[in-house]
């Protein structure tokens, strides 16, 4: 089942690949819907100027095969270096990475941090489902403490990584977090990173708890999870004095030159032999 509204546009999807292979109630459908709505509202007719790059994991299946655009399904953790190469070779293309916490926040974390440090001109959507869903729900770097998983049967005891805080501390132009319960805000953030800021590293974390290996383990339906997320989320500007909340909102919104512009300028200087 994909959670979609009645105006859902399929024009950005490969019809021949539908229905998706995601589990019933998987929240990846809401992200696909938000992407489609954002493209539609931006008046984007087709996705020819986009290249989607993904790693390994459930959310990495969103662009490849479901989105009707060029896409590269790469090795585990290596989506960012591939997107970096695409952007350097073809700066006119919009390079978009979609991957999960088990990819970008773990084996791919080094690449993620350095791409953000360079402010490389890539849009990255990290889908945080709290576990390694595709391999049956093992603990990941973002698993909430005390969640029981197959690899932490007595409850996760490590501190989870706040990935937005990490990226906020770099030179990335844009950092935001929404949950799948905040559809309009998520869709508007996606619009922003393709229209209001069109350069530099733009990062959106989407909290989308795995319905099969997180919600069900907690005895919750997808609808319960959405209600929980709405109740437990708090906007970043109100969050300072609060604890144990999912802090959502736009953490950073800048428009400084991205790596591609700096790199081109450097090449110009090198050609003129100027230091």
Find the DSSP H helices in 97-233.
101-102, 109-118, 163-168, 183-195, 222-232
Q: Determine if 149 is a binding residue for ligand SF4 (CB under 6 A).
A: no
Should residue 23 be labelled a site residue for ligand SF4 when binding is judged by CB under 6 A?
yes
φ/ψ of 107, rounded to 5, equals: -65, -25
Alpha-carbon distance values, 211 to 163, 206, 225 (Å): 21, 14, 8
216 forms part of the interface with ligand SF4 (CB under 6 A): no
**58 or 109: CB nearest ligand SF4:** 58
| Interaction pattern, residues 120-139, with ligand SF4; x per rule: CB under 6 A | ---------x---xx-----
Listed residue (18, 30, 77) closest to 53, CA to CA? 77
Per-position x/- string for 42-81, each x denoting binding to ligand SF4 as judged by CB under 6 A, each - no binding:
----------------x-----------------------
Dihedral angle sign, alpha carbons of residues 24, 57, 175, 83: negative
Go through 8-44 and write b for each residue having 16 or more CB atoms within 10 A of its CB, e for each that does not: eeeebbeeeeeebebbebbbbbbbbbbbbbbbbeeeb
| Residue 83 CB, nearest approach to ligand SF4 (Å) | 22
Shortest approach of ligand SF4 to residue 128 CB, angstroms? 10
Q: Pull the structure tokens for residue 116.
A: 């953000």
Starting from the edge strand earliest in sequence, which strands make up the sheet with 122-128, in order? 70-73, 50-54, 94-100, 122-128, 202-207, 174-179, 246-253, 233-235
Q: Which listed range, 4-12, 170-178, 207-215, 248-256, lies at the site for ligand SF4 (CB under 6 A)? A: 207-215
Which listed range, 103-111, 175-183, 209-217, 257-265, lies at the site for ligand SF4 (CB under 6 A)? 209-217
Query: Contact between 29 and ligand SF4 (CB under 6 A)?
Result: no
Residue 46 to residue 55: CA distance in whole angstroms? 23
Q: Which is nearer to ligand SF4, 22 or 201 (CB)?
A: 22
Compare residues 22 and 178 and give the one whose CB is closer to ligand SF4.
22
Regarding 213 and contact with ligand SF4 (CB under 6 A), the answer is yes
Contact 126, 100 (CB under 8 A): yes
Residue from the set 64, 119, 140, 211 that interacts with ligand SF4 by CB under 6 A:
211
CA distance 28 to 227: 17
Task: Name the minimum Å distance from CB 200 to ligand SF4.
Answer: 29
Instruction: Choose the binding region for ligand SF4 from 19-27, 103-111, 146-154, 158-166 (rule: CB under 6 A).
Output: 19-27
How many residues belong to the site for ligand SF4 (CB under 6 A)?
Answer: 12
**Cα-to-chain-centroid distance, residue 96:** 9
Q: Contact positions toward ligand SF4, by CB under 6 A? A: 22-23, 26, 28, 58, 129, 133-134, 210-213
């Amino acid at each position: 089942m994909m959670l979609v509204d009645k105006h859902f546009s399929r024009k950005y999807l490969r019809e021949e690949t539908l229905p998706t292979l995601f589990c019933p109630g998987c929240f990846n459908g809401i992200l696909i819907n938000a992407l489609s709505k954002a493209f539609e509202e931006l008046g984007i007719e087709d996705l020819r100027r986009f290249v989607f790059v993904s790693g390994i994991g459930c959310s990495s299946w969103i662009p490849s095969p479901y989105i009707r655009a060029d896409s590269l399904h790469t090795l585990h953790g290596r989506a960012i270096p591939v997107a970096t190469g695409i952007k350097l070779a073809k700066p006119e293309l919009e390079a978009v990475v979609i991957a999960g916490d088990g990819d970008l926040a773990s084996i791919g974390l080094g690449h993620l941090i350095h791409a953000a440090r360079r402010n490389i001109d890539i849009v990255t959507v990290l889908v945080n489902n709290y576990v390694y869903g595709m391999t049956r729900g093992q603990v990941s770097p973002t698993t909430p403490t005390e969640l029981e998983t197959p690899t932490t049967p007595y409850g996760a005891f490590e501190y989870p990584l706040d990935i937005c805080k990490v990226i906020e501390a770099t030179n990335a132009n844009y950092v935001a977090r929404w949950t799948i319960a905040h559809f309009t805000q998520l869709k508007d953030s996606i619009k922003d990173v393709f229209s209001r800021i069109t350069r530099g590293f733009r990062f959106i974390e989407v909290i989308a708890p795995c319905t099969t290996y997180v919600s069900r383990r907690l005895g919750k339906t997808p609808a319960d999870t959405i209600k929980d997320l709405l109740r437990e989320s708090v906007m970043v500007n109100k969050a300072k004095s609060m604890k144990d909340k999912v802090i959502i909102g736009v953490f950073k919104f800048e428009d400084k030159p991205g790596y591609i512009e700096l790199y081109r300028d450097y090449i110009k200087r090198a050609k003129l032999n100027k230091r």
